[in-house]
A and B are shown apart, each in its own frame.
Chain A
């Protein structure tokens, strides 16, 4: 009797387990739509926010992709550096410092102004993360054209 019960129980558990695994998990199309866009751009959440800020504040000189080819770049002497090939970007503290205090603060030309008083701390974080991503992304694949 007891043995029968135990066997029944085990079978029941097994069936329940199988039934749980069988159907494909239902889709979450709303989240997937956003993920698809982020994947297409190859950016994380923080980087995507950083890109917004970069496009607004920085791209005029540094260029959309950070290659130093913005529309205002030719007016600058020295010209803006190619951020995709920059070694100093690897250092987050250094990058943050240039953003916050301007390039003059690290002994370069004063042409890159300080944004520390205009941006919130969170925005500076996003921007730093995105600038660092500019460098990493340059090697494996060319940036897809922004829409």
Chain B
């Protein structure tokens, strides 16, 4: 009889087997955990520590055994990167080897790990604790592998929403390209809601251009003008013919004064005017000059004579949105300028004015309208009788979070990422296997990649407001009254900025110009704008402005565009202050950049007549904190004390004060 207390021997064997099995599994788990990559790295780190010369914070790091993580509740992120990157915020590890090295640059000073973690900027899988699964390199089925440095600025854009984010030049360049390329005409893009991009209004095109030019232009705008901003819409010949009929039938406003005596046109006088008016500040010819207006290199192949005369006489009549100012010119001057432009800037023997074929066929015009709407031309161009019907392209909100596996890549063998999709779409909109109305904009690969960097920060789920660094632009400034009329006529805001509105071709915004410049100087300058900075190519145009208008502007500025802090400045200087200022001027090396009495550099303005040009309060304020008034200025901030700034101001105020010479006058004309 068997003892009931003892189990049968076979059961013993089963127990033993199971026990061993469990032991094996347990040991396997235990050993695997003990041998984890991060543990061996931490062990290596403890070895590295002894070789670090100045281990000032290492007591804490040495005790670092186990997982280390940053939990960002508001972003829903857990980053364990610091488990291996143990020296990341410790400058003592600047020369340590890879996982332990200090973070380069000063990024962690502005983005401390405790507050930003790692993956907010770098992407990758923050919860993983080994190299492969953290997605340092792309791995299958992980959408967000770590970004390489080349594209990392895309993530800056998630939080930094201003057009020109600090320390992220590629992102800034991408955003500028988005604005310049007119993406906003077809797409809603978060952050660009207030941007506008307009091509010329087309409702008088029938008077403006030559018929054969329309045909060539629609086929490939860049063939006529490589710098054209209009993309190639890949139109069929039938579409081009229909559009051509529509466009040439547009005759809303007949040109002014069609009866000009062209036989008297003097192209030599026209050439002189072209230089004097400084047209090249905005228009390039032969690849040189400004980019605000269209390049004029082949203008003679494009426009008709009567139209150009009319446009130069009053650009705002037909194109109310144009950035071009209205000069005060006599009819003969406009005629000479027109004749010069058409004669000088053409390629072929386009003398024979094409007789406009009959483009009044209503059916062709109707077809043209269909094509016009289908391709969304109204996004950029106004056409009479056509109300805007919204943006033709899809909104780009959340484009960075689209599922990369659902996107078309055409026949391109690429890694499936939204980055690559956006890049290919920008570069080859028609080669992704799906029909697309998006024009080919002729981007270079680098331009496309740069725009991609800017778009890749547009995530679907928006960040908590506390994370967003946003600059809300103020309401656009609109000049009013008589000053408003003048400012509109001369399009001051095409180049100058007031109240956050306007172009940035000029140096400092005009918001406090009344406190910066002396009124008389401003009048003289407006009547005969000389070069204040000779090295700057873009110059203020010579408007041929009547003195009354110049006075109105100066009075308005002196009453409105003020900064009381500058005006309150005590300008009663002592001779001793002026003498000390002169010393400082030499000591600081101001002569390196500024001309004075025909000596010195050509970087900053000539200071010989400062005493009649600037108001002392401004001079002192500018010298003390130039970056405050013009970010990115070449005027260095010397960290002057108030007394030093005052001394320099005292000295500069004495310059040119007696026997005031008018500002360096006369167009330098060296274009």
> A residues within 8 Å of B by Cβ?
24-31, 33-38, 45-46, 49, 52, 56-57, 60-61, 71-72, 75-76, 102, 104, 109-115, 117-118, 120-123, 125-126
Residue of A nearest to B426 (CB): A30
CA distance A102 to B589 in the complex (A): 10
Q: Which of these binds chain A: B55-63, B101-109, B494-502, B612-620?
A: B101-109
Q: How far is the CA of A120 from the CA of B626 in the complex (A)?
A: 15
A75 close to B601 (CB less than 8 A): yes
Q: Are B106 and A29 in contact (CB under 8 A)?
A: no
Q: Given that A33-B446, A57-B634 are known contacts, is A26 also in contact with B587, CB under 8 Å in the complex? A: no
The residues of B that contact A104 with a CB separation of less than 8 Å are: 588-589
Scan B557-588; emit 1 where CB is below 8 A from any A CB, else 0. Answer: 00000000000000000000000000000011
From known contacts A33-B423, A37-B446, A113-B638, infer whether A120 and B589 are also in contact, taking CB-CB under 8 Å: no
Partner of A30, one of B110, B423, B632, B639: B423
Cα distance A96–B331 when bound, in Å? 59
Q: Is the CB of A72 within 8 A of B449?
A: no
Q: State A57–B593 Cα separation when bound (angstroms).
A: 12
A46 CA to B107 CA in the complex, in Å?
13
Docked-complex contact A28 and B639, CB < 8 angstroms: no
| Pairwise interchain contact A60-B535, C-beta atoms closer than 8 A | yes
Once the chains bind, are B589 and A29 in contact (CB under 8 Å)?
no
Measured between beta carbons, the chain A residues less than 8 angstroms from B637 are 114, 117-118
- Total residue contacts A-B, CB cutoff 8 A: 128
CA distance A104 to B636 in the complex (A): 14
A31:B151 contact, CB within 8 angstroms: yes
Q: Are B149 and A75 touching (Cβ within 8 A)?
A: no
CB distance from A30 to the nearest CB of B (A): 4
Residues of B within 8 A of A109 (CB): 589
In contact, A121 and B592 (Cβ under 8 angstroms): no
Q: Are B639 and A117 in contact (CB under 8 A)?
A: yes
Q: What B residues does A38 contact at CB under 8 A?
A: 150
Question: Which chain A residues border B626 with CB–CB below 8 Å?
Answer: 118
Contact partner of A61 (CB less than 8 A), chosen from B167, B420, B592, is B592
B636 A75 Cβ-Cβ under 8 A:
no
B167 cross-chain contacts in A, Cβ below 8 A: 49, 120, 122-123
Are A29 and B445 within 8 A (Cβ)?
A: yes
B449-A75 in contact (CB<8A): no
- Residues of chain A lying within 8 A (CB to CB) of residue B600: 75
A47 to B37, CA, bound (A): 33
A34 and B448 alpha carbons, distance in the complex (Å) = 10
Taking the closest CB of chain B, its distance from the CB of A94, in whole angstroms, is 18
Given A60-B535, A121-B106; A45-B150 close (CB under 8 Å)? yes
- Which of A27, A49, A118, A121 makes the CB contact (< 8 A) with B169? A49
B515 at the interface (CB under 8 A from A): no
Whether B414 lies near A26 (C-beta < 8 A) is yes
How far does the alpha carbon of A52 sit from the alpha carbon of B415 in the complex, in Å?
Answer: 31
Query: Would you call B588 and A110 a contact (CB within 8 A)?
Result: yes
Given A29-B424, A33-B446, A52-B169, A122–B632 Cβ distance below 8 Å? no
A145 to B262, CA, bound (A): 46
Tell me if B166 is interfacial: C-beta within 8 Å of chain A.
yes
B636 touching A72 by the CB < 8 A rule? no
Shortest CB-to-CB span from B321 to chain A, Å, is: 31
Q: How far is the CA of A110 from the CA of B637 in the complex (A)?
A: 14
Contacts of B592 in A (CB 8 A): 61, 72, 75-76, 110-113
Known contacts: A34-B151, A111-B592. The answer to whether A72 contacts B603 by CB under 8 A is yes
B147 to chain A, nearest CB (A): 9
- Assess whether B419 is interfacial by the CB under 8 Å rule: yes
Contact B636 A33 (CB under 8 A): no
C-alpha gap A52/B633 in the complex (Å): 14
How far, in whole Å, are A114 and B637 apart by their CA atoms in the complex? 7
B602 at the interface (CB under 8 A from A): yes
A72 in contact with B151 (CB, 8 Å): no
Q: Shortest Cβ distance from A117 into chain B, in angstroms?
A: 4
A-B contact list, 26 entries, CB within 8 Å: A27-B415, A28-B417, A28-B420, A29-B412, A29-B423, A31-B449, A33-B445, A33-B448, A38-B150, A46-B105, A49-B169, A60-B603, A71-B602, A76-B601, A104-B588, A104-B589, A109-B589, A110-B587, A111-B589, A114-B638, A117-B637, A117-B639, A118-B626, A118-B633, A122-B167, A123-B167
A133 CB to closest chain B CB, in angstroms? 15
In this assembly, does B413 line the interface, its C-beta being within 8 Å of a C-beta of chain A?
yes
Chain B 623-646 interface 0/1 with A at a Cβ cutoff of 8 Å (1 = within) = 000110000111011110000000
Give me the 7 closest cross-chain CB pairs, A-B, nearest first: A110-B589, A113-B636, A33-B445, A30-B423, A117-B637, A111-B592, A33-B449
Return chain B residues, CB-CB under 8 Å to A31: 148, 150-151, 419, 449
Among A37, A102, A118, A126, point to the contact of B627 (Cβ < 8 A). Answer: A118
With a CB–CB cut-off of 8 A, which chain B residues contact A25? 415
Least CB distance from A42 to B in Å reads 15
Measured CB to CB, the nearest residue on chain A to B413 is: A26
B452 lies within 8 A of chain A by Cβ = yes
| Cα distance, A26 to B140, chains bound together (Å) | 12
**A92 nearest CB across to chain B (Å):** 11
Q: Within the assembled complex, what's the spacing in Å between the Cα atoms of A104 and B586?
A: 12
Cα(A37)–Cα(B446), bound, Å? 7
Question: Which one, B166, B169, B417, B593, contacts A120 given CB within 8 A?
Answer: B166
